[in-house]
Amino acid sequence: MISKRVLIATSVILTVTGIFVASNIYTLIPIYGEIADTFKVNENHIVAGGSLFAFFYAAGLLFFGPASDTFGRRRIIISGLLASALSTFAVGLSPNAEALYITRSIQGVTLGSFAPVAFAYSFDLFQPRSRTLLLVFINTGFLAAGILGQLISSAITFYYKWNYAFYFFAVCYFILFLVSYKILPPASRPFKSEISTVTIMKKLIRQGSLLKCYAITFTLLFSFAAFYDAIGRSFRGTMEELFTIRAVGLIGALLSLFTGKLIARIGAYSTLKLGLLLGTVSIINMFFFSSTKALIAISIMFVAAISLLVPTVITLVGMLAGADRAKALSLYSFILLTGASLAPPAAMILQFHNVLYLLLAFFLLNFVFCYFLSKEAALDLQS
């Protein structure tokens, strides 16, 4: 038996690690110009470094979830943190754009070792009630990282140089490696199937209910990233006001703390519908209101919607996948990040209102998926 004290410490470690890991997805966004000036290249070359990171991070997400079935969740998380510390430090040492491409790619792979393994580790270690709350905390951290990662890198770059932002994160990962090695308890050894990983993933994708969950998953961080990117590109106020809109939006993430209670009281599918309703209302309001105060209120509502949806979808994926949850959550993490990585190019190409139309279409389509998911769940109960 693992003591309650150790489980609480484990929850804190996983949540904090999730924040710092996810922060590095967004660190380059506010400092593209500074890095481009350092290397004397066009800013688009640095944006390419962010795209490479996203590709290799997604590859890491796909690889490490199944690998944790073989090597164990704890070992993958701890080894991944040490590798992340080294690769992140190497990013800061990059002398030119080509070296940045290589180090950011390696960093992407190493950071990809956390999310799917942490989700599967949570299912292995915690009881359902505690697990839902932990998933809420981890995913709230992921959402907060979308803003905090940008704030940290821009603040450090303002006072020092862009390299120091990566040195800072490298030190954080190394400290988390030491703490995790000391505290994280071993989980029960996952059942190792004789069926190949590719075969299992094909089976998961063919499962209708999971496929609908994955379709919803793709839209979540895509919508989150595109929403803030669109605001950033169209906002005509001061930088301080834009900072306020982004920062205050974090208040919405507090709603995720009640996800477990909502799921227990009204069910996962009704919670999903509530999150979709909040998101749809906030997007519609964006068409009509553009003042700073209105955008702050809309930002809080929209972040609240995503904060509610992400842990709910993870809970559904974990339940529907059963013993194959590590691989299912690897696919989930891969699809979630793919959506996040495609959002900035989409926001760059489309006009502000067209981005809103796209997000509205996503949320309305998600209502359709949610309807069929709840119908399938009702049929399963009857049979």
Total domains present in the chain: 2
Q: How confident is the model at residue 315 (pLDDT cuts 50, 70, 90)?
A: confident
Question: pLDDT band at 202, cuts 50/70/90?
Answer: confident
In a domain, 40, yes or no: yes
The per-residue pLDDT for range 103-151, each reduced to its tens digit, is: 999 999 999 899 888 878 887 887 766 776 777 777 777 777 877 887 8
Does residue 188 lie in a domain region?
A: no
In this prediction, residue 278 carries a pLDDT of 92
Which positions ≥6 away from 221 have C-beta within 8 Å? 146, 306, 336, 337, 339, 340, 343
- Cβ proximity of 145 and 26 under 8 Å: yes
Q: Which residues of 295-311 are buried (b: 16+ CB within 10 A; e: fewer)?
A: bbbbbbbbbbbbbbbbb
Q: End-to-end alpha-carbon separation of the chain, Å? A: 36
> Do residue 7 and residue 42 come from a single domain?
yes
Determine the pLDDT at residue 192: 57
Is the separation of the CB atoms in 73 and 124 below 8 Å? yes
Calculate what percentage of the chain has a pLDDT beyond 90. Answer: 26
pLDDT confidence of residue 60: 87
- Are 63 and 79 spatial neighbours (Cβ–Cβ below 8 Å)? no
In a domain, 234, yes or no: yes
Tens digit of pLDDT for each residue in 107-117? 999 998 998 88
Tell me, what CATH number does 347's domain have? 1.20.1250.20
Q: Which domain holds residue 68?
A: 1-181
Q: Is the per-residue pLDDT at 189 higher than 70?
A: no
**∠ CA 247-341-229, rounded to 5°:** 40
Q: Report the share of the chain in percent with pLDDT over 70.
A: 93
pLDDT value of residue 377: 75
pLDDT for position 169: 96
Residue 382 inside a domain? The answer is no
pLDDT above 60 for 383 = no
When pLDDT is cut at 50, 70 and 90, the band that residue 194 belongs to is low
In a domain, 364, yes or no: yes
pLDDT at 195: 64
262 lies in a domain?
A: yes
Statement to judge: residues 161 and 207 lie in one domain? no
Contacts of 133 (CB under 8 A, 6+ apart): 11, 257, 260
In terms of domains, do 365 and 219 share one? yes
Mean pLDDT, the chain, as a whole number? Answer: 83
Same domain, 134 and 267: no
Q: Give the tens place of pLDDT for each residue, 36-74.
A: 888 888 877 777 777 788 778 888 887 887 788 788 888
Nearest to 60 by CA among 111, 133, 117: 111
Q: Does one domain contain both 159 and 21?
A: yes
pLDDT band at 381 (very low <50, low <70, confident <90, very high): low
- Kindly report the pTM of this predicted structure: 0.77
Is the pLDDT confidence value at 244 over 90?
Answer: no
Please check whether residue 383 lies inside any domain of the structure.
Answer: no
**Tens digit of each residue's pLDDT (9 = 90 or more) over 326-348:** 678 778 877 887 787 777 677 77
- Confidence bin at 292 (pLDDT 50/70/90): confident
Q: 45-49, 151-155, 364-368: which range is least confident on average?
A: 45-49
Instruction: List phi, psi (to 5°) of 11.
Output: -60, -45
- Which of 65-74, 177-186, 194-203, 287-296 tops mean pLDDT? 177-186
For 121, the token pair is 């580790």
